[in-house]
Structure 1
Amino acid sequence: MPLFGVTFYFAKSPRFIPTPIIQAKIISLFILTVLLPILLYFLLKTIGKTKTIYLETPEERVLPLLLNCIITFLILFRVLPSTEIIELYYFFVGILISSLACLILAILKFKASIHMIGVSGVFMFYVALSIHFSINIIGTLALMFIIMGSVASSRLHLKAHNGKELIIGCFLGLLPQLILVNYWL
């Protein structure tokens, strides 16, 4: 989801950012948010820290969420520092806050929906970008709303979460992005 948010930002931002910089940011984010987590999952599975990709218990989620927080922290200070693209910096600060909150809940034996955290965080970022740049992205927002509903429905259908876990996941994704809008909007 972070890669979707960044790609959308570069596609819709009216600011001039040189193409080589955009490409470098997207490639580095692809490596850090897609490839590295996949490799870390296989490592965790090999050493017996996770049983399945579904991370069914809160205990199984602790180490992957901690690694996600470390990766997000690395992105904030190496790929998207606050001195470059402020909107994306605060987008990733929101992702870090959501990940930390989910980690704390996992330590407390509560399993919030990480899927809902991701999709609702990106949705709120899109809303904020629409306001910030005064662009009409109603179609994109409607599609994101449908995707949020589809994700929630699929998680319920698969019995991976209950309604409470989905709602808390949704708020964990929305609220940090909404609060951080005050710093860049």
Structure 2
Amino acid sequence: MNYRKIANLLSWVLHPFLQPIYLMAVLLTMTTFAHYTTGMKFYLMWVVVLYAVVIPLLALGVLHSLGRISDFRVDDRRERILPLLIGAVCYVLCAVTFAKIPSAIFLRKFMVAAACCELMCLVVSLRWKISLHLTGMGALVALLVVMNIVGVGNMLIPLMVTILCAGALASARLYLGCHNGAQVLAGFCGGFAVALLAVLFL
């Protein structure tokens, strides 16, 4: 088996850009948000795709064309500052959009948590490299734990799947040599702690 190809596939399938989309898919099908109309679900998903994927990707393209980043993987921690700042702003704008829907307050909290995780990674990246992939997975695990506790849906299976995916992704990032053990662990624990605190207190 070509383990490098598998590791690369995991890195792309579980990319931080895609993680919010997976979470929204779970929320809109397996929780109380499943009662939204099809039109509302489409609108919410489009908002997340726009702010979590489309705008950040366009921003990376502009930064690359200006020579501010060397490639779209942004492996150099010093090149991560602007992309992370843009990502944080995008999540804040997404949260503001969700705030216009009174029943979507939980979704707004999730976007605020994502923005806080981006800012945490930005601050850390000033001095040290942290795993953005595992930060996102840690945040997802924290959010699913909260949903299980507050009872918005039975998130036990998605939580188990997410934990397994986090372990597989951590192994993939280590195998590819993108991070060391400390960077992977710091990413997961940091994402978990920041997302948990943001949802509970913001």
State the match for 1:3 in structure 2. Answer: 21
State the match for 2:184 in structure 1. Answer: 166
| Paired residue secondary structure (1:85) | helix
- Alignment check: 8 A CA contact 1:14 1:133 kept: no
1:124 pairs with 2:142: yes
For residue 167 of structure 1, report the CA deviation from its aligned partner: 1.2
Q: Number of paired residues?
A: 183
Of 29, 44, 68, which aligns to 1:49? Answer: 68
State the match for 1:34 in structure 2. Answer: 53
- Larger mean CA deviation between 175-184 and 4-13 belongs to 175-184
Of 115, 121, 125, which aligns to 2:133? Answer: 115
- Point out where structure 2 has 5 or more consecutive residues left out of the alignment: 1-18
After superposition, where does 1:8-157 map in structure 2 within 5 Å?
8-15=26-33, 16-81=35-100, 83-107=102-126, 109-133=127-151, 135-157=153-175
Alignment deviations for residues 114-139 of structure 1 (CA, whole Å, 9 cap, x no partner): 00011111122112112222643333
Distance in 2, matches of 1:70 and 1:180, equals 16
- Alignment check: 8 A CA contact 1:5 1:125 kept: no
- Alignment check: 8 A CA contact 1:152 1:166 kept: yes
Alignment deviations for residues 36-68 of structure 1 (CA, whole Å, 9 cap, x no partner): 222211111111011112212211101100110
- Between the two proteins, what is the percent identity of the paired residues? 23
State the match for 1:175 in structure 2. Answer: 193
- Alignment check: 8 A CA contact 1:117 1:172 kept: yes
Question: Aligned-pair RMSD on alpha carbons?
Answer: 1.9
For residue 80 of structure 1, report the CA deviation from its aligned partner: 4.2
| Paired residue secondary structure (2:68) | coil
Taking a change above 3 Å as real, the CA distance of residues 89 and 82 of structure 1, as seen in their structure-2 partners, is farther
Distance in 2, matches of 1:169 and 1:81, equals 31
- Alignment check: 8 A CA contact 1:123 1:144 kept: yes
- Alignment check: 8 A CA contact 1:81 1:89 kept: no
Taking a change above 3 Å as real, the CA distance of residues 100 and 127 of structure 1, as seen in their structure-2 partners, is same
- Alignment check: 8 A CA contact 2:31 2:152 kept: no
